[in-house]
Chain A
Amino acid sequence: MTSTNDTLPVISDVWFTHLANAVHADRELQVIGKYSDFWLDAVSPGNWRVVLNFQNSSLIPTPWKDLPADHIAISASPTGWGQIFDPNPKPLLHDLLALGKNSPDVALGGSDVELVRNLRVLARLVDLGKALHVQH
């Protein structure tokens, strides 16, 4: 895992370590993620970039250079990342797909097919992130 900024209140190296641990401990992801293998490029433009590989129910830190062409990209400002992991979201800003449509601070990119193909696991990851937001 590589991050250029670990000082943001929501997203940091430490935060992603907690998320990886939460994935490992999550009974649902251990079931539904067993056969999943996808890549996620998470960016806060001008601040930081994190590349993750979800594989066999684990969230694996990965160097940027290993990012394949087919991947899911989420680009958001600090405000947008706060919206993504907001445990008490406002209507129409309550979900990754909703934010992609309605928030100027969140952009979904990369492969649309990869997004829908792995949407079930991705949605669970966001839910775990929201729970972490409450804890940390």
Chain B
Amino acid sequence: MSSTDTPVASFEDVVGRYVNLRSSGRDQRIYFEEAGSGPVLLCLHTAGADSRQFRHLLNDPEITSRFRVVAFDLPWHGRSLPPEGWWEEEYLLTADAYVAIVRDFAAALNIEQPTVIGCSMAGSLVLELARRHADEIGAVIGLSGALKVNGRFQDWSLRPDVNAQQSVPTWTSSLMAPQSPEVSRREVWWIYSQGGPGIYRGDTYFYSQDLDLRGRGHEIDTRACPVYLLTGEYDHACTPADTADAIAEIPGAKGGAMKDIGHFPMAENYPLFKTYLLPILEELHPDVASKDLDSLALEGTPHA
């Protein structure tokens, strides 16, 4: 049965599942997607968004032939529902709860020594992960992350006379590079338009209020857990200068500014972001870096 004479469909290799776990004393039903095999790249989405931001990475055979890419939706985000009782509380993400859910999710999937890739608030979170649990993490790659990011926590998105469904995504779209492909920039906007009320604000509580690692960069042992920080030059929330300050303060940290890209590199311009990501992955995993791509299947599986 088909509505067209020439039905053509393709299936992506990305698989989505749910895992039930307990974190910070509460039951959580967490949605995640994964693809590929090899060392794990554990991907953490931005404030107010969800794991769809990593769909290009999940669908890149040059990556998934060498790595197992796993991306999950934080509680309250995407297809991960908020925990019971959510209607009686103000959502404010804390560093303790954020670190806990990442560790608990990894434990539930028996993931060991992942390379954790986080963007925006997660770009800063990975620094706290490395500081607290360097022995559990293979490496961290922080995108748009810094020791302290000011100014993102604001109350207006909860006002009843503001349509946060439109204003929050436009507010965050401002952080992208204008030359990034329009279809990708619009997709970032769309994902943001689907965030729950107060969730972007609650996430930025962590990003701009709760986490402040200034003066503590020396507590991160990059020999135990290598740290890479990359920030797009069009990012005016976490600027390249903010990230440079972090790199300077964390002994052994690497990275810098990404040209022609903004705050959401993996989502707003994946092909360009990939040129920055691959050298890091090859440095971290030289054993799988040179794998021959000739035998790889093309993206998706044709299905008539």
Contact = CB atoms under 8 A, between A and B. Distances in A.
A112 interface: yes
B26 interface: no
Contacts of A89: 178
B162 A116 contact: yes
B76 interface: no
Given A98-B236, A101-B236, A120 B167 contact: yes
B170 A119 contact: yes
A94 B163 CA distance: 24
Interface in A103-127: 112-113, 116-117, 119-120, 123
Interface string A54-97: 00000000000000000000000000000000000101101111
Contacts, number: 49
B174 A116 contact: no
Contacts of A91: 177, 233-234
Nearest to B178: A94
Contacts of A112: 156
Contacts of B173: 123
Nearest to A92: B236
A101 B159 CA distance: 23
B161 A97 contact: no
A47 interface: no
A32 B165 CA distance: 12
Interface in B152-173: 156-157, 159, 161-163, 166-167, 169-171, 173
Nearest to B151: A101
A98 B174 contact: yes
A116 B164 CA distance: 9
A113 B234 CA distance: 25
A101 B161 CA distance: 25
B238 to A, nearest CB: 12
Contacts of A123: 170, 173-174
Contacts of A96: 174
Contacts of B161: 113, 117
A123 to B, nearest CB: 5
A119 B162 CA distance: 10
B156 A97 contact: no
A47 B298 CA distance: 59
Contacts of B166: 32, 119-120
Contacts of B239: 92
B236 A102 contact: yes
Contacts of B163: 117
Contacts of B177: 91, 94
A119 B156 CA distance: 12
Contacts of B156: 112-113, 116
Nearest to B239: A92
Nearest to B154: A116
Interface of B: 156-157, 159, 161-163, 166-167, 169-171, 173-174, 177-178, 233-234, 236, 239
Given A113-B161, A113-B162, 18 more contacts: A89-B178, A91-B233, A92-B234, A92-B236, A94-B234, A95-B174, A102-B236, A112-B156, A113-B156, A116-B157, A117-B161, A117-B162, A117-B167, A119-B167, A119-B171, A120-B167, A120-B169, A123-B173
Nearest 9 pairs of A and B residues by beta carbon: A91-B233, A97-B174, A98-B236, A119-B170, A95-B174, A120-B170, A120-B166, A91-B234, A116-B167
Interface of A: 32, 89, 91-92, 94-98, 101-102, 112-113, 116-117, 119-120, 123
